[in-house]
Structure 1
Amino acid sequence: MKEISLHILDVAENGITAGADLITLVVDEAVNRNVLSITISDNGSGLSQEQQAKVVDPFYTTRTTRRVGMGLSLLQAAAERCDGRFSFTSEEGKGSCVFCSFLYNHIDRAPLGNMASTLSVLMAGYPEVDFLYCHLYNGREFQFDTREIRQQLEGIALNEPAVLSHLKAGIEEGLEEIKGSE
């Protein structure tokens, strides 16, 4: 994939397909340590031990709509190609967690991509799902939690165009704030 954010989108959608109503995403850009790490966890149905053993096999998927599942194997390859790591953990009935890291300045590392757009796509497509997004940049933190936003919206859906536009702008502003002082 051309951007890491597209991998994030894929993994989040896998969790939602597995019944998750909360996706937690942590992006840690530790440029000062030359590491980019990403953790995506969900509270979906999780996978059995047998399924977990096959999760990075590109010719295995739990979906019935297609016969291959390239997403996690591509993410694993991307991380390892950039001197990083990949791990997948899951517990039946509790959810799954994907972790990957990359050498930040590795020549083969794809750009992170537009996280505000990625989150907007998720909120537009899955307005009933909550997203907790934490982005760290050299120790400075931006946090976005749709559960808190829902309380303020008093019943207005996250995917209402005006709301979605405002939320995307808020994410962009928050990310600029943590990255801008360098």
Structure 2
Amino acid sequence: MKEIVDHIIDIVNNSISAGAQNIIIDIQESATNNYLKISIIDDGKGIDENTINKITDPFFTTKKDKKVGLGISLLKYQAELAGGSFHIKSELNKGTEIKATFQLSHIDRQPMGDIAGTIILLITSHSNIHFIYKHQTDDGVFTLDTIEIKDIINDISTNNIMRSSLKKYIEENLKKIKMTY
């Protein structure tokens, strides 16, 4: 995984596989305090304690068709490599929260990647899921809630113009709050 958005896609797909209907993608960054925090919170089936203790092991997976489970272990590795940390908490039948923190200015921090395109990909690929995307910087906050744009989303999966317009809307708002790429 070359960019942080790759990790976001992986974790969100795990959330959806766990039956999540509501997913929050919360990104906080501060140039002043030199951090980038990524949190993904879902209301899926949760993870039992035995699995939680193994989940960052790259050779552990719950998927029957795979021998390794690199997604979460790679996110943990990348966060720690960039002077940050990784935390996961989960409760059965309640959901899971994954947090990765990076030093924003660290030379080994992966680039964010196309977060606007990633959000569009996720909400159009999973239009039945309620997403909240929140991005906070030292200069402001941008929030996109799919409940508020439900009528657009129903059209967006087949309408390139609507997808493009929504992506531009996200990009413009991220520019206003001076998101770090």
Q: What's the TM-score, normalizing by structure 2?
A: 0.92
Q: Measure how far apart 1:125 and its partner are.
A: 1.7
Which residue number corresponds to residue 157 of structure 2? 159
Q: CA RMSD in A?
A: 1.6
Deviation digits for residues 107-136 of structure 1 (CA, Å, limit 9, x no counterpart): 100111111011111122211112100001
8 Å CA contact 2:29, 2:137 repeated in 1? yes
Counterpart residue type for residue 168 of structure 1: K
Q: Does 1:66 align with 2:66?
A: yes
8 Å CA contact 1:127, 1:157 repeated in 2? no
Q: Measure how far apart 1:21 and its partner are.
A: 1.2
Counterpart residue type for residue 176 of structure 1: K
- Aligned sequence identity (%): 38
8 Å CA contact 2:58, 2:73 repeated in 1? yes
8 Å CA contact 1:90, 1:96 repeated in 2? yes
Listed as ranges, the gaps of 5+ residues in structure 2 are none
Q: Does 1:48 align with 2:48?
A: yes
Q: Measure how far apart 1:157 and its partner are.
A: 4.1
Counterpart residue type for residue 159 of structure 1: S
Which residue number corresponds to residue 77 of structure 2? 77
Q: What's the TM-score, normalizing by structure 1?
A: 0.92
Deviation digits for residues 117-162 of structure 1 (CA, Å, limit 9, x no counterpart): 1111112221111210000111510000001111xx1883442323
- The structure with more helix, counted as a fraction of residues: 1
CA distance in 2, matches of 1:31, 1:60: 35
Which residue number corresponds to residue 31 of structure 1? 31
CA distance in 2, matches of 1:41, 1:138: 22
Listed as ranges, the gaps of 5+ residues in structure 1 are none
